[in-house]
Structure 1
Amino acid sequence: MTDDAWRALERQQTVEITTVGRRSGRAQRIETWRYRAAGRYWLTGSPGRRDWYANLLAQPAFTLHLADRELAVRGRVVTDPDERARVFGEIVPGLEWAGSLDSWLAGSPLVEILLD
């Protein structure tokens, strides 16, 4: 990602993403939050099932919509327990509403945002 794009992403925590529906093949746009940990940017959410995550498992390319630009990116799904523990260990403690780190490790999606 260009330095300008990284700066734009740094300024905006609430983002919209468009994924390709795993069954429908249609564009699905939602609002979500991006997080920063380990010097990188991530998509995740409180524990539970997420359609956007299932879509990214099937098709990792997606569009990241920021206030002043749209970026073609791809998601790197993180399943490695040690990497998940490191990343969630930075994200979860800063969220007053988050609940336990263990619950996030067990049930939250984790996707790194990468330049396509």
Structure 2
Amino acid sequence: MDAAIETALALTDDAPFAQRVVDITTRGARSQQLRRIEIWFHNVDGEVYITGTPGARSWYANLLAHPEFTFHLKHEVRADLPATATAIIDPQERTEVLSAIVDGIDAIYSGRASRPEFAPVEEWIDRSPLVRVNFN
């Protein structure tokens, strides 16, 4: 993988908001149509993850049905990366990864006047979609 892409995916603690925002293109679980959405990604211990606030998400249903997708870097580094999603369902792994992600989100918003309200980490662990991104 290109060094610039590896750097973009590494997400240092001081990475700007924009670097965390990517698009993903999934195949619709029922429609089979390609769907492109904007979403944040997270790097935990060198692994790339996608999650969302607690609740059902169509992108997650799409990835469960069709794990192959495209991960689009779109800011300082631009690249369309073929990837495969692996759903994280093991309770211990979900706890470790989502705790790290929520801590990271808290750190991003620390000290900002406009801070969104997020669900407690326990709710993320119980109800949030979570996939590891494996680059092909």
Normalised by the length of structure 1, the TM-score is 0.92
Contact 1:38–1:87 at 8 Å: present in 2 too?
no
Contact 2:54–2:119 at 8 Å: present in 1 too?
no
Contact 2:10–2:46 at 8 Å: present in 1 too?
no
Which residue of 52, 55, 61 maps to 1:54? 61
Contact 1:48–1:108 at 8 Å: present in 2 too?
yes
Structure 1: state its 5+ residue gaps: none
Structure 2: state its 5+ residue gaps: 12-18, 107-116
* Larger of the two Rg values belongs to structure: 2
Superposed structure 1 runs of 4+ greater than 6 Å apart: none
CA RMSD of aligned residues (A): 1.4
* Structure 1 residue 5, shift from structure 2 partner: 2.4
Question: Any idea what the Cα deviations from partners look like across 1:73-100, whole Å, max 9, x if unmatched?
Answer: 1111100000001101111123244331
Secondary structure in structure 1 of the residue aligned to 2:124: helix
Which residue of 64, 67, 78 maps to 2:71? 64
* Structure 1 residue 39, shift from structure 2 partner: 2.0
Q: Do residues 102 (structure 1) and 112 (structure 2) align? A: no
Take 1:93 and 1:71, find their aligned partners in 2: how far apart are those partners?
27
Contact 2:9–2:43 at 8 Å: present in 1 too?
no
Task: Give the equivalent residue in structure 2 for 1:92.
Answer: 102
Take 2:26 and 2:52, find their aligned partners in 1: how far apart are those partners?
16
More strand by share: 1
Identity percentage of aligned residues: 41
Q: Do residues 115 (structure 1) and 135 (structure 2) align? A: yes
Take 1:9 and 1:94, find their aligned partners in 2: how far apart are those partners?
15
Take 1:64 and 1:26, find their aligned partners in 2: how far apart are those partners?
16
- Aligned residue pairs: how many? 116
